Amino acid sequence: MATYACGHINPDSDSICSAISLSYLKNQIGEECIPARQGEINPETEFILNKFGMEKPLLKTSYAGENLYIVDYNNPLEAPKDIKEATIKGIVDHHKLGGLTTDEPLECWIRPVGCTNTIIKEIYDSYKVEIPKDIAGIMCCAILSDTVIFKSPTCTKVDTKACKELARIAGIEDVKALGMQLFNAKSDIAGATARELVTRDYKDFEMNGKKVGVGQLEVVDLGLFDNLKDDLFADLKALKEEGGRHTVMLLLTDIMNTGSQLLIVSDDESVIEKAFGVELKNSEVWLPKVLSRKKQIIPF
């Protein structure tokens, strides 16, 4: 029985970097732990790992009979299919609680901050474990990514402080410039299929007994999607039918102009119009100032 640290399905940079940073810490305090991931890494994460010379975590989607630290999620719909047969040793996360249960007591580090790596930085500090340069670098990048370079309403003072300390350890002089490099890498949609784009950063949620899926693509220029809208809508429709979902949405987030174009396929569009106090035009709407799925979409 081995112990793994692993983030959510459709992994983002925070999930991948958390698996690595938490595993290193656990190994330092005498607990063997292997970093893992549930899916392919996105172009932004690839940029981060290359920049700091880190290996991709192990691709592993089944955890029956294993010990598991879950990082950057606790929503059962983002967990491995056989999570009920794994022993959950702990959770490190910054999302709302979503219904996971365990058979045994566990370690929990859950805080309303902008990034899981901010919490992991606190865990390093509390165990007085030194953070190596390369790990500090990827943790710093995860914070820049999750907080949209400190612009997201999810970003707290704790995140900016942790990010600055990590940048100092990693020898990064200009964090905002590094953040822009990340989002330029993230904006790389060349050659990707509509399904790859819709599911690149996609989460399903259980809402009043109905399944609702929300994908998000954060880019530096929304013009990138001008010729892709029809394909994206067709795929959202297909995804909705395949999973018996009530609604599937895609947030096309413009990080430069701070807002999101929301594409919607739903059994009842009026629910969405009511939730956001807007009127849809051709199943789309521009939501100014909306950057965060977690804080500005899901609660409504």
Interacting residue ranges for Mn ion, rule: CB under 5 A: 12, 14-15, 72, 116, 146
Q: How far is the CB of 70 from Mn ion (least distance, A)?
A: 12
Minimum CB distance to Mn ion smaller for 143 or for 222:
143
The set of residues, in sequence order, having a beta carbon less than 8 Å from that of 174 and lying 6+ positions away, is: none
Q: How far is the CB of 90 from Mn ion (least distance, A)?
A: 16
Give the three-state DSSP class for 67. strand
* Long-range pairs, 86-90, Cβ under 8 A, ≥24: 89/3
Minimum CB distance to Mn ion smaller for 71 or for 264:
71
State the Cα–Cα distance between residues 298 and 296, nearest whole angstrom.
Answer: 6
Query: What are the backbone dihedrals phi and psi of residue 187, each rounded to the nearest 5 degrees, phi first?
Result: -75, 0
Q: How far is the CB of 8 from Mn ion (least distance, A)?
A: 6
Minimum CB distance to Mn ion smaller for 3 or for 145:
145
Beta strands per DSSP E along 28-157: 34-37, 58-59, 67-71, 87-93, 107-110
State the Cα–Cα distance between residues 120 and 116, nearest whole angstrom.
Answer: 6
Query: What are the backbone dihedrals phi and psi of residue 72, each rounded to the nearest 5 degrees, phi first?
Result: 70, 15
Q: How far is the CB of 14 from Mn ion (least distance, A)?
A: 3
State the Cα–Cα distance between residues 163 and 141, nearest whole angstrom.
Answer: 8
Minimum CB distance to Mn ion smaller for 155 or for 262:
155
250: alpha, beta or left? (left if phi > 0; alpha if psi -120 to 50): beta
Q: How far is the CB of 12 from Mn ion (least distance, A)?
A: 4
State the Cα–Cα distance between residues 178 and 181, nearest whole angstrom.
Answer: 5
Question: Which residue is closest to Mn ion by CB?
Answer: 14
CA atoms within 13 A on the CB side of 84: 4
Q: How many CB atoms lie within 10 A of CB 230?
A: 9
The set of residues, in sequence order, having a beta carbon less than 8 Å from that of 135 and lying 6+ positions away, is: 20, 21, 24, 52, 54
Q: Which two tokens stand for residue 81?
A: 């299919």
